[in-house]
Amino acid sequence: MRALRGWALILPIGTRPEAVISCIYALARRVARLERIHLLPSPATSSYVKVVSRAATAIVEGVDVTYTVVDEVSFDGIVEAASRAIEDSRARGLRVAVDVTTGRKSMSLALYKAAIDSNADLILYLHLRCREFEGVLYPLIPKHCADLVVFKGELP
């Protein structure tokens, strides 16, 4: 029997780092081995990389966190960076999840395109049903107020 591969998560960093951390938490509680997280901040949000990385390593012991700064309005540049991150994760033998929740709309659209073009295993969106919980970390949001929506693939 073939051993199960771990997971990589690729997602942008928007202006709310708690939203990024919530996305990481939501996937980490659903998969057995989240081994790699690749963040895509813009120059304006790159200062959040450190706090998101620290939170990620607190949520998932031993996770490898990397990042690539992208121009938030360069659609092709974001697609290229995300596609490279997907291919690199696959080369490491990992299944790939792409989360399109955070970041500017241009970033979410570009990540979605990269995920489809590169055949990512999962495309996810953390849907917050109750707006009063914006800025609240995922574990503190009542279950009926947040859903991890799968646009492509199946959660394990």
Q: In this predicted model, what pLDDT tens digit does every residue of 35-64 receive, in sequence order?
A: 999 999 999 999 999 999 999 999 999 999
Q: In this predicted model, what pLDDT tens digit does every residue of 101-130 receive, in sequence order?
A: 998 999 999 999 999 999 999 999 999 888
Tell me, rounded to whole angstroms, the distance of Cα 122 from its chain centroid: 10
pTM of structure: 0.92
Spatial contact of 2 and 95, defined as CB atoms under 8 Å apart = no
Provide the greatest CA pair distance for the chain: 47
